[in-house]
Amino acid sequence: MTQLIWNGLFVGSFYALVAIGYSMVYGIIKLLNFAHGDVYMLGSFTGFLLLGSVSGLLGTWSLPVLLLVLLLSMLFTGTIGVIIEKVAYRPLRSSPRLAVLITAVGMSFVLEYGIRQIFGPSPRVFPVRLAGDPIFFLDARITLPQIVLMVIAAALMYFLQRYVMKSREGRAMRSIALDTQASLLMGVNVNKVISRTFFIGSALAGAAGVMAGAYYGSIDFLMGFIIGLKAFTAAVIGGIGNLYGAMLGGLVLGLLESFGTNWLGGQWRDVFAFACLIAFLSFKPTGLLGERVSERM
């Protein structure tokens, strides 16, 4: 039981990091950014390139170098997120939502097959593979890399929560989420705030991509597809548009997958996860922490 809980929380922390980007963007401009999962994939390939360029420093300095690469990858994927918003979404902001949704799907394919053209279709071995001797706690097998990655994920989510709830820029994000027109009248630079939101969400997705590559040891150009759908599922479970809901939804989905895999078998993992999505959309479409609104996408 303890092992299942630990495995669920570990996987759920990755889902939560990516789901936060979904919820932030949806909460502000009511857009389901289906290219978000591919930004996660882009982060892993960015880390792959950066670590490959400093391979001589790996070994004893693997963890410090990985942390530096993590920060650089976050800056890069955050910048890509801003570019995507300006090029693909901002010109269509006043268009029908279906047009924006189709554009998001198209941007997802651009990222996926752009990376495929550059790196090829075959999986790549990540230059750093975090490993360590297991620690047994309450009958659960825990490794040091799992602890490190969960601490990093928790720290990123904590600082994001403080930024959104306590800073001036975070207050502007929350005001736009409530009423864009009123925010404009109060002097809020809406375009700047939306770009900042895309930067933060994309940076967190990129961080999750680097951590996934370092832990699992293999990356490929389609790795963002499933994680994107899982993060969307997590956002729906928690209440899409709600920051705390995205964090909670990621952890809940990780736990559901862990227990579902134990009950049904590993081959049913994705089936069980998306069955949970259907159940939430059917019986509680607002999610665990979401509020009922008159219109949802």
How confident is the model over 94-106, as pLDDT tens digits? 888 888 888 988 9
Mean pLDDT of 5-11: 84
Using pLDDT thresholds of 50, 70 and 90, give the confidence band for residue 1. confident
Per-domain residue ranges for the chain?
2-283
Residue type, 293: V
172 in Cβ contact with 179 (< 8 Å): no
Pairing of strands 218-219, 140-143: unpaired
Which of 47-61, 73-87, 122-136, 212-226 shows the highest mean pLDDT?
A: 73-87
Q: 2-283 — its CATH code?
A: 1.10.3470
Look at the chain and count its residues: 297
Among 32-46, 132-146, 178-192, the range with the most confident prediction by mean pLDDT is 32-46
Give the contacts of 112 (CB within 8 A, at least 6 positions apart): 38, 41, 221, 222, 224, 225
Q: Name which of 101-105, 139-143, 183-187, 272-276 the model is least confident about.
A: 139-143
Average pLDDT over every residue of 36-40: 90
